[in-house]
């Protein structure tokens, strides 16, 4: 039964993956057709074609490896400086440029001269290339907002889960009191598990991150108003300075980092809370910010990832994870002994995270990513507008094909990184805690 549920979970993820890829490419396809660009192919996946059907001028199909997708647009690159589409060169770098230019015209038909991608105005090309990642962003927003506003999200609240017995510096990594440890201010003041803190120093609070910051900013006498058994009580703890974990600004903690701050001494209860639309917007903003920071930190995680794949190092919970790793997580989720609604929420959020990652990754201004083509179109617009402003000759379209050697290098780095993640996902996968 466990094997069956695991396979079912993996199939659910693969379906969500294919849907996300198809949705991404649909953004490119629809906007390209709106702007009159001819699109001979719309494919989900890579490798051998499993199924395809031609409708109008476009062949729609599914390929064997669900690791991406593409649409083929005619005239992605302008002709060379000599006006020719193909040429030959003894330089390997130059050959890359000429091969890329030739491939962009290999299905050219009579009448296509006015339907080439590069002949469209830069703003239209930006829309076509941005439409794919934008579709992933839209899908991520729909999934996350639907989950948060319908099922809720696990959040730390101002409800008290437990009260610390004594004052311990958090860098000591112990939770058993020793002789001589002072009594924690919360315990001394009479705070109890089950209490709900509604005000701190006379100011109402209903958000854990706000309450946490108020506590840390206070050393000395304070007033804490709690709800207990239907009645409101005011407690008078005397907060002390203690070494506590550094926060990330969103109520979470930074592992291994500590600061000196005010200390009360209790653990907040984590509960599932339904978010309103405004709260969902704020929560989404935090997720995007964390995603961007994750991309920036990605190179620094490679040594630990290598050690986890080929050495005896542990696989960190926030380690980069690929499609195989995500599929394994999906399989594990299906076997968990939790309510079906919780499994559904896990599946949906996994697809949401995947789509948000696709959006952020594709917006990097590097070829062959969509962001690289967007950057090229924007640079062309800047060049042409500057030439017009200073009454200089039109420099013409920016030849993105000249950047193909760089694109091959970038693609090679991506392939190597993908293979490293794949090995780590197989031999030392991230596991659900």
Q: Which of 25, 98, 332, 380 is catalytic?
A: 25
The residues facing 161 across adjacent strands are none
User: Is 294 buried (19+), middle (13-18) or exposed (0-12) by CB count in 10 A?
Assistant: middle
> Is the dihedral angle over the CA atoms 187, 190, 196, 199 positive or is it negative?
negative
Residue 65 to residues 68, 250, 323, 369: CA-CA distances in angstroms? 8, 39, 11, 19
Q: How far apart are CA 269 and CA 263, in angstroms?
A: 17
Cβ–Cβ under 8 Å, residues 63 and 22: no
Cβ–Cβ under 8 Å, residues 100 and 399: no
3-class state of residue 67 by DSSP: strand
Q: How far apart are CA 28 and CA 242, in angstroms?
A: 55
Give the position of tokens 């542990």: 314
Q: How far apart are CA 97 and CA 405, in angstroms?
A: 7
- Backbone dihedral angles phi then psi of residue 201, each to the nearest 5 degrees: 55, 40
Tell me if residue 25 is catalytic. yes
Pairing of strands 266-273, 253-263: unpaired
- Prior bond of 368 cis (ω within 30°): yes
> Is the dihedral angle over the CA atoms 251, 256, 257, 262 positive or is it negative?
positive
Q: Which of 342, 331, 289, 349 is nearest to 145 (CA)?
A: 349
Which residues are marked as active site?
Answer: 25
């Amino acid at each position: 039964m466990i094997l069956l549920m695991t396979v079912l979970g993996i199939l659910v993820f693969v379906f969500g993956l294919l849907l996300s890829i198809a949705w991404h490419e649909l953004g490119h396809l629809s906007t390209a057709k709106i702007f009159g660009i001819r699109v001979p192919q719309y494919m989900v996946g890579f490798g051998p074609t499993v199924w395809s059907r031609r409708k109008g001028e476009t062949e729609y199909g599914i390929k064997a490896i669900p690791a991406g997708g593409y649409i083929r647009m005619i005239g992605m690159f302008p002709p060379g400086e000599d006006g020719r589409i193909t040429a030959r060169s003894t330089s390997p770098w130059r050959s890359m440029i000429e091969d890329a230019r030739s491939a962009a015209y290999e299905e050219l038909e009579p009448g296509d001269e006015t339907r080439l991608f590069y002949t469209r105005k830069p703003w239209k090309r930006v829309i076509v290339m941005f439409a794919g990642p934008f579709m992933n962003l839209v899908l991520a927003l729909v999934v996350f907002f639907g989950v948060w506003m319908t099922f809720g999200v696990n959040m730390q609240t101002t409800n008290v889960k437990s009260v610390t017995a004594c004052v311990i510096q958090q860098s000591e990594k112990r939770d058993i009191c020793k002789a001589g440890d002072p009594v924690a201010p919360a315990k001394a003041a009479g705070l109890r598990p089950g209490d709900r803190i509604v005000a701190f120093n006379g100011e109402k609070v209903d958000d854990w991150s706000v309450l946490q910051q108020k506590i840390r900013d206070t050393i000395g006498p304070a007033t804490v108003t709690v709800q207990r058994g239907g009645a409101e009580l005011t407690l008078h703890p005397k907060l002390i300075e203690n070494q506590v974990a550094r926060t990330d600004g969103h109520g979470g903690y930074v592992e291994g980092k500590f600061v000196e701050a005010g200390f009360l001494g209790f653990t907040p209860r984590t509960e599932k809370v339904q978010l309103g639309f405004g709260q969902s917007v704020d929560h989404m903003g935090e997720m995007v910010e964390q995603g961007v920071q994750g991309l920036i930190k990605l190179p620094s995680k490679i040594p630990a990832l290598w050690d986890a794949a080929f050495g005896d190092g542990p696989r960190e919970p926030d380690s980069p994870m690929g499609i195989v790793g995500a599929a394994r997580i999906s399989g594990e989720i299906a076997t968990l002994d939790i309510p079906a609604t919780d499994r559904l929420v896990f599946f949906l959020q996994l697809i949401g995270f995947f789509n948000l990652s696709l959006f952020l990754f594709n917006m990097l201004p590097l070829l062959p990513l969509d962001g690289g083509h967007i950057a090229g179109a924007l640079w062309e617009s800047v060049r042409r507008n500057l030439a017009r402003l200073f009454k200089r000759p039109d420099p013409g379209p920016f030849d993105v094909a000249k950047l193909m050697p760089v694109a091959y290098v970038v693609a090679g780095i991506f392939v190597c990184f993908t293979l490293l993640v794949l090995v780590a996902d197989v031999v030392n996968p991230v596991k659900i805690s």
